Each structure stands twice: as C-alpha cells, then as structure tokens.
Structure 1
Amino acid sequence: MKYAPESFPKLQKLWGLVEYKPVWTLSLKGWLFIISILIILGIIFMRTIHPFLAMNNPIKAEVLVIEGWVGDIVIKEAITEFKQGNYQLIITTGSPLGRGSFLRDYKNYAELTAATLMALGIPKNKIIPIPTPVVNRDRTAASVEALKDWITQSNLNIKAVNIYTYDVHSRRSWFVYKKMLNPKIQVGAIAHPGDYNTQQWWTSSLGVKSVLSETIAYLYARFFWKNL
C-alpha cells in the first residue's frame, strides 16, 4: 500500500527535517544498460590506451635525444636507432641521481647515460649530456628547457629531433617536447617496448602501474600543465 505525504502531518509539521518528493530512478533494465556501457568503455580503454601512449612517430632528424632515466637495454637499442638513422648527435637528458651519486663519478642521469653510450662504442664527440636542474615537478619540461637553452647557445642548425624513451612515456614526452620546441624544431618520438605483455598490459602489475600512472600523467600534461 502506498501512502501520500498527507498521511504524515505530524512528520511534516513537527519535525520539518524531511520532505516528500517524487523521484525518478533507474530500473533494473536501466542499471543493466549503464553497466553494459561502462564495460564496453572499459574494454575500449584496455585495448587502445597502450598503443596511444606508447606512440612511435619518428621523423628525419639530426639529433637523437635519449631520456637518461631509461634502462641499459633501452640505451642499447637506442644505439641501433642512432646508427640506422644517420644522426649527427646523441643528446642525453636527466635529473640528478636520487641514490648512489656519492659512489659514482656521475651525478645525474644525463652523464650516466652518456658514459654508458661511450662504453658501448659511441664516440665521445657524438654525445652531448645535458643535465636537468633539480625540480620537484615537471621534470620532462625542465629537461626540454635545458635542451632548448643548449641549442640556442650552440652554433648547430638543428631542425629536428627524435626522442627515444621507454614505452608508454613516449606520448607525454612527445607532447611536452613538441609544445616547447615547435615550430623552430620538429619533434618525433620512438618508444622502446615495455618489459611486459603490451597486448595484455592489465595482466601484470608492471603493466598496470605503467599504463595507469602514465595515463594520469599525460592527462595532467595535456590539460593542466603550464609551459615553463
């Protein structure tokens, strides 16, 4: 049996804490429809987000930029790209080492990566390490700013660069580099494959951590980051 609000005069008159309002609500069919839409969107996200973030868009360039925080395997593959792409220079970027700097001759990832490249056979005169200053946020942007300053001060006529980085970080790096260097310098990007099944990234903790954290970071860079 349904009761009209007039059936509760005392409730309305004495308390005044609640009131009767007719409300539309989802039926079982409506809830099933919403859940189905969410499942479909989730599947689309799972299938498309990795290739979107781990973009490969190399261009003809004089310089190959390696983000210095990447691992040794990525650096080794970057050497193959350097030789095949007929680049003039490799530029390494990177912030100060968070640990172990007192035990090494290198204080930042840019210098450490440059030393790794030389150990793997790249001539010293082909490598330019450009350390990133200490910053608490927007480290990629700070790296680009340091690179931009070096290019401005050098006598080199650099028209294009390719960024070589790890996996799902490439989309964000490409976006930041492009925003800060265009139109004077064209920017391409090369993503080294991740150390997990990139076709089913959601099946490993590394894949989930990499994709979700980089998705958030890209959205921040795309919609909230302000240029230096």
Structure 2
Amino acid sequence: MPAKLKLVKKSECYRLTWIGRVLVLLFFTAFLFFLALFIPKFLSQSNPVNGQILVLDGLMPDYAIKAAIDLYESGNYEQVVVTGEILSVGYAIADIKTMAGLSYATFIELGFEADNITSLPTGNVVRNRTFTSALKLNSWIKDNKLNITKIDVLAVGCHAARSKYLFDRALDEHIAVGVVAVEDMGYNGKRWWQTSRGLRTVLSEGLGYLYVRFFFFPRKH
C-alpha cells in the first residue's frame, strides 16, 4: 500500500534560556544605543575641500546663511551659489518665488555683496530636488566655461551626507565635492529621539541616504 500523505512531522527545536534572552536583549539595546549616537554623527559630518565655490541648496535657515557668510569671509571662496526650487508656502503673495531667491535675498539683507553671489533657481521640481539642483550647477559651470575644480556644499545637520553624495554624482568627475555641516538648531542632536522633529529628521535623512546610495540610478542628461 502507498505511504500515507503526511502534513506534519515531529521535529526538535532549540529555545533560548533566560540567560540567553537577557544577553540577546542586552545586545540589541547596545546596538540601538550605538545607532542612536552614530547615525546623526555620520550624516552630519563636515569634510570640506576648500572649494572655489560655496553652494547652498534648498530652503536654508537664517543661521545657516550667517554661517555661510562667515565661511566666505574667512576662507578662499570665489563665489557663493544658492539653488532651490519654487517655494511651496507663500508663493501666491510673496515677491520671491523660489528657495534660491529667498536665500539670495537673505544674503543681501545681511550685508553680503551681490557681486559675490549667484542664484540658480530650478523651477518646479517634484522629486530628486537636490540632484536637480546639482545638475543646474553643473550646467552653469559648463555654460560659463568656469575653471572650477572643487566646491563645498553647505548643508544643515543630517542632510549633509546626502547632499555631498548627490552633488558628487551630478557634477563632472574633475570637480571635487566637499561638505560643511551646520548644526541643526531645530532639535538637540544628542537627544534627537526625544522630539518629533528630531525623530523625523534623523530617520528620514537616514533612509534618504540609504536610498540614494543603493537604489538611485540617475541620468545626468
């Protein structure tokens, strides 16, 4: 007679003892604590290359623009370039329509010389905004036949790592890209998980960085 069809079978398994459970719990607790300290530090590292151009992309807080002015005055930058898409708030009533224009106007209001700053608005960008800004900068450099071999991107907090990577991908290979990270004043970086803004910022920037490193395959043209 044919063997009976069996749907289940007896098997032996191992389970953690109480000591094993405690050790696993301690391991994961230490791992999470390490991530909590490491992730924001990694994402907000400064690594400038003493570039010829200092670039600010997107909607920048005033304290970041003040920091950019201090950097320009104490360094060897030849030009500041501000980029950014159309403003999503106040567009209908404001005279300034883009993030680049708002940054430009803030620089001028703070006493910065207009000859030392260039505004490169990117228009209405739905996705890949930082990469689009970097492409705009690359086109501007080539169109004006500028001899630029290195730039620094100024970014706020955890956006620094992603900004550097995307500008590095978008610019021509002979242009070295550095980054200057300005501390994000919107939350306590050492206790970022204690506020909703800190939690949203670190987690979203962390996921965003992983996305552009492993799942973003853009075309430059």
TM-score for the superposition, normalised by structure 2: 0.90
Partner of 1:80: helix, strand, or coil?
helix
* Shift, 1:151, TM fit: 0.8
Partner secondary structure for residue 132 of structure 1: strand
Matched, 1:224 2:209: no
* Contiguous gaps of at least 5 residues in structure 2: none
Residue 31 of structure 1: how far off its partner (Å): 2.4
**Higher radius of gyration, 1 or 2:** 1
Q: Tell me, what secondary structure is at the counterpart of 1:174? A: helix
Asked whether the equivalents of residues 52 and 148 of structure 2 are also in contact (C-alpha less than 8 Å), the reply is: yes
What is the rounded CA distance, in whole Å, between the counterparts of 1:128 and 1:57 in structure 2?
23
1:27 to 14, 17, 22: 17
Q: Distance in 2 between matches of 1:27 and 1:137?
A: 50
Q: How does 1:45-60 map to 2 (within 5 A)?
A: 45-60=35-50
Matched, 1:168 2:158: yes
**What is the CA distance between 1:16 and its match in structure 2?**
6.2
Matching of residue 202 in structure 1 with residue 202 in structure 2 = no
1:188 aligns with 2:178: yes
- Structure 1 residues 47 and 132, CA gap change in structure 2 (3 angstroms): same
CA displacement, residues 17-42 of structure 1 (integer Å, 9 cap, x when unaligned): 65433333333333222222211111
Greater helix content: 1
Q: Structure 1 stretch 32-41 or stretch 162-171: which is displaced more? A: 32-41
Structure 1: give runs of 5+ residues left out of the alignment: 1-12
TM-score (norm 1): 0.87
Amino acid at match of 2:117: I
Q: What amino acid does structure 2 have at the position aligned with 1:227?
A: P
Amino acid at match of 2:57: E
Tell me, what secondary structure is at the counterpart of 1:101? Answer: coil
- Report the RMSD for the aligned CA atoms in angstroms: 2.0
Match of 1:85 in 2: 75
Match of 2:146 among 146, 152, 156: 156
SS in 2 for 1:163: strand
SS at structure 2 position matched to 1:135: coil
Quote the residue 1:144 is aligned against: 134
Measured after TM superposition, the shift of residue 197 of structure 1 is 2.1
8 Å CA contact 1:63–1:162 kept in 2: the answer is: yes
Residue 131 of structure 1 corresponds to 121
Paired residue total: 216
Percent identity of equivalent pairs: 32
